[in-house]
Structure 1
Amino acid sequence: MFGIYLKRELSRRKKAALVIAMGLALGIALVITVNSVSAGMQQAQDKVLKSLYGLGTDMTVTKAQTAPTSSSSGRPKFNFDAKSNDSSDTQSSDRVMTQGGQSLKSSLVTKVAAQKGVASAVGALSLNVTKVDGSFTQGKAKSTTGSSSTQQGGPGGQSSGSTGAPQVQGGGASFDVNSYSVAGVDVTNQDLGPLATSKISTGKTFTASQTNAKVAVLSKSYAKENKKTVGKTIKISGTKYTIIGIATPDSSESTTDVYLPLKQAQSLGDSKNKVTTIYVKATDSKQIATVKKTIQANISGTTVTTSADLADTVSGSLSTASNLATSVGKWLSIAVLIAAFLVAALLTSSAVSRRVREFGTLKALGWPSRKVTRQVVGESMVNGLLGGALGIALGLGAAYTVTAISPKLTAELGSTSTGGGGMGGPGGGGPGQQAASAAKNTIDIALSAPVSLTTIALAASLAIAGGLIAGAMGGWRASRMRPADALRSVS
């Protein structure tokens, strides 16, 4: 009886049911869209952080750079001698400097790895190589000859030529300056550290036995720019390294140009048993904050930076869109949902008011108030479920459209600390830091809008909640009607 009456009443009031369902559908669709876009923003941010941090890296340990003393400005110096008159004689000099903060003792890697909550720790050394090469050209002295006035008293009164002071013409210097980054990699554990963000596309990576071998892996962009291939050599500060592989970054342009075994990098940078960054993996990703506090408490003078800290430095259109989806989108969704629920409740209550004769007659025939209320709530629940289905369809369509369009977002990551003591990424202490200032690394990310089962479940719950709210209000109104109301309305 309940089902038959429910079907008949909904069929009679198709337009009203559709209006209520569409109101709920729009609110639910907006919730799904905002949630899916927010999830896409989170994925984009994780992609940015992964490209810098590497899979499995939860935090980095560095030490802030100290201010340079009066005797050492910290700037590179180059000394050249004019040792040949031959203008074709080329001179070259490499200046290798550590980057990314003050150097740490390699023994600290073991100490960090022993901390509670740390699964593994790996040290890396970040270097910046500035190469200057070119030649001097010697100038040539030339004298100028000019005519003077007639010399009185000279033989026959004839004029004579005079020679001016010699002048140097030509000469000078022509030098090319090239700067690139070098990362020292612990070849025994490459799952952590600067090379973990890239995959070997050509050649091979380091082996565990190449801890002090003169071999190198180049980033794809650097190899292409300098026309380097596997098997060729690269010369750094007088030492030749054989190129064994070309690394392609997972999701962005690499900020490191050359990868060397850690011991070789330490020799180049005159930093024996030193590292600039310690990459850390926690045993539990949910306890990263606790592990950070433990390391800071037990190893003084260091800066521990997590991926969440780096996420705070993300700017550009990715940050703007993320803030918009998180703040404006969330409150807009809540406002629209409240409005949709109120509209559904008011429309249901209004429909009940127009059914005074019907409900009064049913009560006169013996229907108890609870049965009338159940009837109204049942109709509202059907409207809510219909609105939920329409809302899920609209939300999925909107999410699919965003994914299909894949708008490009830009993420800029700046320094998270002063003096280069930040994270293992741009502006931090990890490999790939070109300058210890607020230089930024820009990455383009395609936005997607994934819809999870949790979001679908949330939409279904909202649909049921909307139906219950509308039904409760309409049912309360219907339960207060008396049979006499129906008799008065009979003409």
Structure 2
Amino acid sequence: MFFTYLRRELRRRRKAALVVASGLALGIALVIVVSSVSSGMSKAQDKVLQSLYGLGTDMTVTKAAAAPGSGGTERPRFEFDAKDDDEASQSTDRVMVQGFQTLAADTVDKVGAQDGVADAVAGLSLTVMKVDGQFKRGEFKQDESASQGGQGGRGGPGGGGQPQGEVRGGGASFDVNSFTVYGTDVTRQDLGPLTSSTITEGRTFKAAETDAEVAVVDAAYAKEKELALDKTVTVSGTDYTIIGISTADSGDAAANVYVPLKQAQTLADAKDKVTTVYVKATDSQKIEPVKAAIQKNISGTTVTTSADLADTVSGSLSTASDLAAGVGRWLSVAVLVAAFLVAGLLTSSAVSRRVREFGTLKALGWKSGRVTRQVIGEALVNGLMGGVLGIAVGLAGAYAVTAISPTLTAQLGSSGGGGRMGGGGPMGGGGPGGQSASKTLDIALTAPVSLTTILVAVALAVAGGLVAGAFGGWRASRLRPADALRRVA
């Protein structure tokens, strides 16, 4: 009887049911779109941080920045030998530690011993500046007018003076190129910047290659310099055999060339030194306590978490993320609340128009509870219909955003903590010794819809139906048979 009457009443009041369902659908669809876009922005920001940190890294430990004027930095010097051959080329490399600040290699063990640390791996970031070219000796050109006639000319016969003229031509022509090198612990490759790239050709390092002259080269750098597998890349006079080509998962690669950590220490004359310790916490909830413990127990270090780096992200990605988190969520909540209220008021209004119907049913023996359940059942079905419609519209909206894939720009300012691994010039890395150069990445926005979002939409649909049913049920429970009899024509 309940379901028969329910089906008949919904068919009889299709327009009213459609209005209630559409209002709820609008609010639910907006919640789905805003949630999916927010999730997409969160993933976009994670991609940005991956390109700096590496997968699974929760924080980095670097040497604390030197006080201004303390002489903690040095300027690169280049020296060339004198050669008699004018056509001889001159070439020299200068290998510098990014940021000019290093930690003792045993710092990684100290960090790993802290409570809440699941894993810790060290790395050494270098910048190589290569200067090559040649000097060309100038040629002396005598002044012809001064040498002719010999009369009164200082350069003429018997004049006793030096021949007049000028040096023409000559000079120097040098090219300056720089690239970044990252020394990785080949025995523990599951943490650090190299994990933010995928090996697309060849292989990665073997655990036994701790001091081997082998290298993994970034795909973009390999294309620029025409490098390939089994060829060599020269770093400060040492030829490294290329065993693999890596492609950054997003943005720029952490370095142009990756070599074993011991080889990087040899290149930079930095034995038992590292620039960064990459840390993974046992629990995401323990990141801040771990950060505090490291700073307290290991002096002279700076700890940078992913949250600290996220604060340095600016540009349209940051603006859009703030907009979605603030205005978007509040707007969706406001629309949802309004939809609930409208659904409740429409249901209550529909009950008021059915006074004669419900009064007659009560006169025939229906209890108030049965009438209330009937109204709530109708409202709940309307809510579920609105939920199905809202999920369909929300999924369509999220799909449209993903299909369009608007490009957002993420600009990464200096973090001061040395956590980033930018490439470029000698100060282009994220060394704690100075300000990092800003880095701009273009990220395509997607709007993934998770199962949790769908379940939330279903819950909202049920809640909307119950809210509307509560309004109508309360009104229906107050009706009396006498009201119906007074309205009988």
Alignment TM-score, normalising by the size of structure 2:
0.90
Query: Within 5 A, what are the aligned runs for 1:412-423?
Result: 412-417=411-416, 421-423=418-420
Query: Within 5 A, what are the aligned runs for 1:7-406?
Result: 7-67=7-67, 74-84=74-84, 86-100=85-99, 102-146=101-145, 165-406=164-405
Provide the C-alpha distance between the structure 2 equivalents of 1:111 and 1:148, rounded to a whole number of angstroms: 79
In structure 2, the CA distance between the partners of 1:72 and 1:58, relative to structure 1 (3 Å rule), is closer
In structure 2, the CA distance between the partners of 1:72 and 1:145, relative to structure 1 (3 Å rule), is farther
| Conserved 8 A contact 2:51-2:254 | no
Task: Kindly state the Cα deviation for residue 288 of structure 1 after the two structures are TM-superposed.
Answer: 2.3
Q: What is the match of residue 159 of structure 1?
A: none
| Conserved 8 A contact 1:113-1:119 | yes
Question: In terms of mean alpha carbon deviation, does 432-441 or 176-185 score higher?
Answer: 432-441
2:458 aligned to which of 457, 460, 463? 460
Provide the C-alpha distance between the structure 1 equivalents of 2:406 and 2:316, rounded to a whole number of angstroms: 11
Aligned residues: 479
Amino acid at match of 1:26: L
| Conserved 8 A contact 2:6-2:374 | yes
Residue segments in structure 1 that go unaligned for 5+ positions in a row: 154-161
For residues 125-164 of structure 1, give each alpha carbon's deviation from its aligned partner in whole angstroms, at most 9, with x where no partner exists: 11111111111121112122338999999xxxxxxxx998
Task: Kindly state the Cα deviation for residue 340 of structure 1 after the two structures are TM-superposed.
Answer: 0.6
In structure 2, the CA distance between the partners of 1:143 and 1:393, relative to structure 1 (3 Å rule), is same
For residues 226-248 of structure 1, give each alpha carbon's deviation from its aligned partner in whole angstroms, at most 9, with x where no partner exists: 11222322332233323332222
Provide the C-alpha distance between the structure 1 equivalents of 2:452 and 2:273, rounded to a whole number of angstroms: 47
Provide the C-alpha distance between the structure 2 equivalents of 1:203 and 1:412, rounded to a whole number of angstroms: 32
Provide the C-alpha distance between the structure 2 equivalents of 1:441 and 1:148, rounded to a whole number of angstroms: 62
Provide the C-alpha distance between the structure 1 equivalents of 2:448 and 2:238, rounded to a whole number of angstroms: 50
Task: Kindly state the Cα deviation for residue 81 of structure 1 after the two structures are TM-superposed.
Answer: 4.9
Provide the C-alpha distance between the structure 2 equivalents of 1:6 and 1:454, rounded to a whole number of angstroms: 31
Question: In terms of mean alpha carbon deviation, does 13-22 or 211-220 score higher?
Answer: 211-220
Provide the C-alpha distance between the structure 2 equivalents of 1:119 and 1:356, rounded to a whole number of angstroms: 67
Provide the C-alpha distance between the structure 2 equivalents of 1:152 and 1:99, rounded to a whole number of angstroms: 66
Amino acid at match of 2:418: G
Task: Kindly state the Cα deviation for residue 82 of structure 1 after the two structures are TM-superposed.
Answer: 4.5
SS of 1:146's partner is helix
| Conserved 8 A contact 1:109-1:121 | yes
Query: Within 5 A, what are the aligned runs for 1:474-485?
Result: 474-485=472-483
Provide the C-alpha distance between the structure 2 equivalents of 1:32 and 1:148, rounded to a whole number of angstroms: 92
In structure 2, the CA distance between the partners of 1:361 and 1:296, relative to structure 1 (3 Å rule), is same
Q: What is the match of residue 156 of structure 2?
A: none
SS of 1:281's partner is strand
SS of 2:209's partner is coil
| Conserved 8 A contact 1:38-1:322 | yes
Provide the C-alpha distance between the structure 2 equivalents of 1:134 and 1:114, rounded to a whole number of angstroms: 50
Question: In terms of mean alpha carbon deviation, does 172-181 or 100-109 score higher?
Answer: 100-109
Amino acid at match of 1:36: S
Provide the C-alpha distance between the structure 2 equivalents of 1:212 and 1:182, rounded to a whole number of angstroms: 15
| Conserved 8 A contact 1:63-1:102 | yes
SS of 1:56's partner is coil
Residue segments in structure 2 that go unaligned for 5+ positions in a row: 153-160
| Conserved 8 A contact 2:418-2:430 | no
Alignment TM-score, normalising by the size of structure 1:
0.90
Provide the C-alpha distance between the structure 2 equivalents of 1:23 and 1:71, rounded to a whole number of angstroms: 67
Provide the C-alpha distance between the structure 1 equivalents of 2:65 and 2:122, rounded to a whole number of angstroms: 17
| Conserved 8 A contact 2:126-2:268 | yes
In structure 2, the CA distance between the partners of 1:473 and 1:70, relative to structure 1 (3 Å rule), is closer
Task: Kindly state the Cα deviation for residue 31 of structure 1 after the two structures are TM-superposed.
Answer: 0.8
Task: Kindly state the Cα deviation for residue 115 of structure 1 after the two structures are TM-superposed.
Answer: 1.5
In structure 2, the CA distance between the partners of 1:69 and 1:38, relative to structure 1 (3 Å rule), is closer
In structure 2, the CA distance between the partners of 1:38 and 1:313, relative to structure 1 (3 Å rule), is same
Amino acid at match of 2:6: L
Task: Kindly state the Cα deviation for residue 424 of structure 1 after the two structures are TM-superposed.
Answer: 4.9
| Conserved 8 A contact 2:95-2:236 | yes
In structure 2, the CA distance between the partners of 1:94 and 1:333, relative to structure 1 (3 Å rule), is same
Provide the C-alpha distance between the structure 1 equivalents of 2:45 and 2:284, rounded to a whole number of angstroms: 17
Provide the C-alpha distance between the structure 2 equivalents of 1:332 and 1:321, rounded to a whole number of angstroms: 15
Task: Kindly state the Cα deviation for residue 432 of structure 1 after the two structures are TM-superposed.
Answer: 5.4
Provide the C-alpha distance between the structure 2 equivalents of 1:195 and 1:430, rounded to a whole number of angstroms: 20
Provide the C-alpha distance between the structure 1 equivalents of 2:232 and 2:370, rounded to a whole number of angstroms: 88
Question: In terms of mean alpha carbon deviation, does 12-21 or 314-323 score higher?
Answer: 314-323
Amino acid at match of 2:304: T
- Report percent identity of matched pairs: 66
In structure 2, the CA distance between the partners of 1:101 and 1:164, relative to structure 1 (3 Å rule), is closer
Provide the C-alpha distance between the structure 1 equivalents of 2:68 and 2:209, rounded to a whole number of angstroms: 35
Provide the C-alpha distance between the structure 1 equivalents of 2:72 and 2:14, rounded to a whole number of angstroms: 84
| Conserved 8 A contact 1:194-1:430 | no
Provide the C-alpha distance between the structure 2 equivalents of 1:151 and 1:297, rounded to a whole number of angstroms: 86
